[in-house]
């Protein structure tokens, strides 16, 4: 059962079936209990009527028993003798005796009692205890049926104790319960079929947008056209949210693929220039050794090596490489990077203490600091300032220059790959437009941020924020 519709229909049918069976069983039990209580009451009325006659000292042989053959009565004396039974009673079970023929009393025969000699007979009493009820069977005039018997004890005026057993038939109860049971057995499958069919139809309608999403995704996969989008239902349910999320994922995927294509194209363009220059110099050197520009060839080779290293680092960052957990002192790292630039065109002044540690990869963080210093020195007029300070659980590195600064509209664009605001000048200086992109990617991998603003001296101010170690 691989279909969601089939699973939903089967699940709903099973749940409804269990609920209906439980409810039907409860209804049948309640109905049967109610009908049995009513039958018990009918039997009790007859038993108490006969017991009342015995309490007024009516002899058992002269009792007025019900004429209704459906109300069998049996009177049993204390010694176990059956002293009275209703007419046409042929067999009985479920009472204190199975005898259906009255036995003679001790010292005489049944029916010889004469109460005319006693002008003021004593009055007996019916037992104050409630009647006892039992289930049994009786055969009346050749018809056997199930009965409920009410048993009432009574003491006559002569201090004789009798037990009156009166029965009421269970046919009505059995017929009613059987009718309800049969109706349930017939109606249950029909109702379950209706529930299953309705669930199937409703589920199919609810999942129709999902099928549309699936088919469109299959078409997108086949065509490799990431500009297509799946249809979004007008509803606001889970399916609509799924469609919107799918379209957002497709948009992000399309942007990622486009960015990757642009990256490959830009990388190819950037690699082509130093490779072409190096090839030209080597071909000239091969034909005319005296004209070989060795420093230029070395410069092109170094530029090519740096570009390859930048591309490799970006590929590792895009692959999700996690930084290490080494403690790096950012103040010491900054001083070490500046110490290597003693002969640069623009000097760098440093304000950084010790003990400002962050957790990460020292090599990548050194690359960030070096890229920020390279960028600042390339655009500064006379001076670059760099500082490291703690701030609310973070270590903040700032690099500022006194150059022309970065226009506000371009402050996010400069962190894109292969972007140079002054393309001609920076290309001559050897920049490929990857330094700031690498710096921001590394900062994000270390849980930090890299932003650019305006320095107090009018140039650019780059601010790197990283979580402090520990």
Of 62, 44, 45, the residue nearest 53 (C-alpha): 62
Tokens of 306: 């740096």
Tokens of 6: 């089939």
Distances, alpha carbon 233 to alpha carbons 237, 245, 251, in Å: 9, 12, 18
Instruction: Give pLDDT, residue 216.
Output: 87
DSSP letter for 252, please: H
pLDDT, tens digit, 9 for 90 and up, residues 351-409: 988 889 999 999 899 999 999 999 999 889 899 999 999 999 999 999 999 989 899 88
- Burial (CB count within 10 angstroms: exposed 0-12, middle 13-18, buried 19+), residue 32: middle
pLDDT at 429 over 70: no
Instruction: Give pLDDT, residue 111.
Output: 44
Instruction: Give pLDDT, residue 115.
Output: 47
pLDDT at 453 over 90: yes
pLDDT at 290 over 80: no
Instruction: Give pLDDT, residue 105.
Output: 65
pLDDT at 301 over 50: yes
What is the C-alpha R_g of the chain?
A: 52
Distances, alpha carbon 370 to alpha carbons 230, 316, 327, 339, in Å: 45, 19, 19, 11
Asked if residue 362 lies in contact with residue 333, where contact means CB atoms within 8 angstroms, the answer is yes
Extended beta strands in 49-175, E state: 73-77, 82-85, 89-93, 125-126, 132-140, 143-155, 161-169
Q: What is d(CA 457, CA 455) in angstroms, rounded to the nearest whole number?
A: 5
Instruction: Give pLDDT, residue 462.
Output: 95
* Least trusted range by pLDDT, from 3-12, 21-30, 131-140, 213-222: 3-12
Instruction: Give pLDDT, residue 296.
Output: 77
pLDDT, tens digit, 9 for 90 and up, residues 330-347: 999 999 999 988 777 888
DSSP, residue by residue, 389-400: EEETTEEEEEEE
Residue 128 half-sphere exposure toward CB, CA atoms < 13 A: 0
CATH topology agreement for domains 227-321 and 323-467:
no
| Mean pLDDT in residue range 148-160 | 86
pLDDT, tens digit, 9 for 90 and up, residues 56-103: 888 888 888 887 778 899 999 988 889 999 888 889 998 888 888 887
- Angle (CA) 421-425-430 rounded to 5° is 100
Q: What is d(CA 218, CA 79) in angstroms, rounded to the nearest whole number?
A: 93
Instruction: Give pLDDT, residue 280.
Output: 83
pLDDT at 265 over 80: no
The mean predicted confidence, pLDDT, of the chain is 84
* Least trusted range by pLDDT, from 151-160, 210-219, 299-308: 299-308
Distances, alpha carbon 198 to alpha carbons 20, 192, 239, 414, 444, in Å: 17, 10, 20, 59, 53
Strand 143-155 relative to strand 161-169: parallel, antiparallel, unpaired? antiparallel
Instruction: Give pLDDT, residue 292.
Output: 73
The CATH code of the domain at 323-467 is 3.30.565.10
User: Dihedrals φ, ψ of 389, to 5°?
Assistant: -145, 155
Instruction: Give pLDDT, residue 421.
Output: 67
* Least trusted range by pLDDT, from 57-71, 137-151, 401-415, 435-449: 57-71
Q: How confident is residue 109, by pLDDT bands cut at 50, 70 and 90?
A: very low
What architecture is domain 227-321?
Orthogonal Bundle (1.10)
| Mean pLDDT in residue range 413-422 | 78
Q: How confident is residue 328, by pLDDT bands cut at 50, 70 and 90?
A: very high
Tokens of 247: 């379209």
Instruction: Give pLDDT, residue 113.
Output: 47
DSSP letter for 94, please: S
| Mean pLDDT in residue range 148-173 | 88
Asked if residue 47 lies in contact with residue 148, where contact means CB atoms within 8 angstroms, the answer is no
Asked if residue 429 lies in contact with residue 378, where contact means CB atoms within 8 angstroms, the answer is yes
Instruction: Give pLDDT, residue 123.
Output: 62
pLDDT at 432 over 80: no
User: Dihedrals φ, ψ of 124, to 5°?
Assistant: -85, -165
pLDDT at 303 over 70: yes
DSSP letter for 100, please: -
Task: Judge if pTM exceeds 0.75.
Answer: no
pLDDT at 329 over 90: yes
pLDDT, tens digit, 9 for 90 and up, residues 190-238: 988 998 898 888 888 888 888 888 888 898 888 888 888 888 888 778 8
Q: Structural domain boundaries of the chain? A: 4-176, 227-321, 323-467
Asked if residue 384 lies in contact with residue 347, where contact means CB atoms within 8 angstroms, the answer is yes
């Amino acid at each position: 059962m691989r279909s969601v519709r089939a699973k939903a229909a089967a699940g709903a049918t099973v749940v409804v079936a269990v609920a209906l069976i439980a409810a039907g069983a409860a209804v049948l039990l309640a109905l049967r209990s109610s009908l049995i209580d009513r039958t018990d009451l009918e039997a009790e009325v007859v038993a108490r009527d006969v017991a009342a006659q015995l309490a007024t000292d009516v002899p058992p042989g002269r009792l007025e028993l019900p004429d209704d053959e459906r109300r069998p009565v049996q009177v049993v004396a204390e010694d176990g003798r059956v002293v009275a039974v209703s007419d046409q009673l042929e067999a009985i079970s479920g009472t204190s005796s199975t005898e259906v023929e009255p036995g003679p009393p001790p010292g005489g025969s049944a029916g010889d009692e004469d109460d005319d000699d006693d002008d003021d007979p004593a009055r007996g009493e019916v037992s104050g205890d409630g009647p006892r009820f039992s289930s049994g069977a009786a055969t009346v005039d050749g018809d056997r049926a199930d009965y409920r018997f009410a048993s009432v004890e009574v003491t006559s005026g002569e201090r004789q104790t009798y037990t009156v057993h009166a029965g009421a038939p269970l046919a009505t109860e059995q017929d009613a319960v059987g009718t309800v049971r049969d109706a349930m057995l017939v109606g249950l499958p029909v109702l379950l079929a209706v529930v299953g069919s309705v669930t199937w139809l409703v589920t199919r309608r609810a999942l129709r947008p999902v099928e549309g999403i699936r088919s469109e995704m299959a078409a997108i996969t086949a065509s490799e056209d990431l500009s297509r989008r799946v249809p979004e239902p007008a509803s606001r349910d889970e399916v609509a949210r799924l469609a919107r999320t799918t379209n957002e994922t497709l948009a992000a995927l399309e942007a990622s693929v486009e960015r990757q294509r642009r990256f490959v194209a830009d990388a190819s363009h950037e690699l082509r220039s130093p490779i072409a220059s190096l090839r030209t110099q080597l071909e000239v050197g091969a034909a005319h050794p005296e004209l070989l520009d060795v420093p230029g060839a070395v410069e092109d080779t170094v530029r090519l090596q740096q570009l390859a290293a930048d591309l490799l680092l970006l590929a590792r960052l895009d692959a999700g490489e996690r930084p290490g957990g080494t403690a790096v002192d950012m103040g010491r790292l900054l001083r070490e990077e500046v110490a290597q630039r003693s002969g640069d065109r623009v000097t760098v002044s440093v304000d950084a203490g010790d003990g400002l540690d962050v957790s990460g990869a020292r090599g990548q963080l050194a690359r960030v600091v070096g890229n920020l210093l390279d960028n600042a020195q390339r655009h500064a007029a006379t001076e670059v300032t760099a500082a490291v300070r703690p701030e609310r659980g973070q270590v903040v590195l700032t690099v500022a220059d006194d150059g022309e600064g970065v226009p506000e509209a371009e402050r996010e664009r400069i962190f894109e790959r292969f972007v140079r605001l002054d393309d001609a000048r920076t290309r001559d200086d050897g920049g490929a437009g990857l330094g700031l992109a690498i710096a921001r990617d590394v900062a994000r991998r270390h849980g930090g941020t890299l932003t650019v603003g305006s320095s107090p001296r009018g140039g650019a101010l780059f601010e790197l924020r990283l979580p402090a170690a520990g």
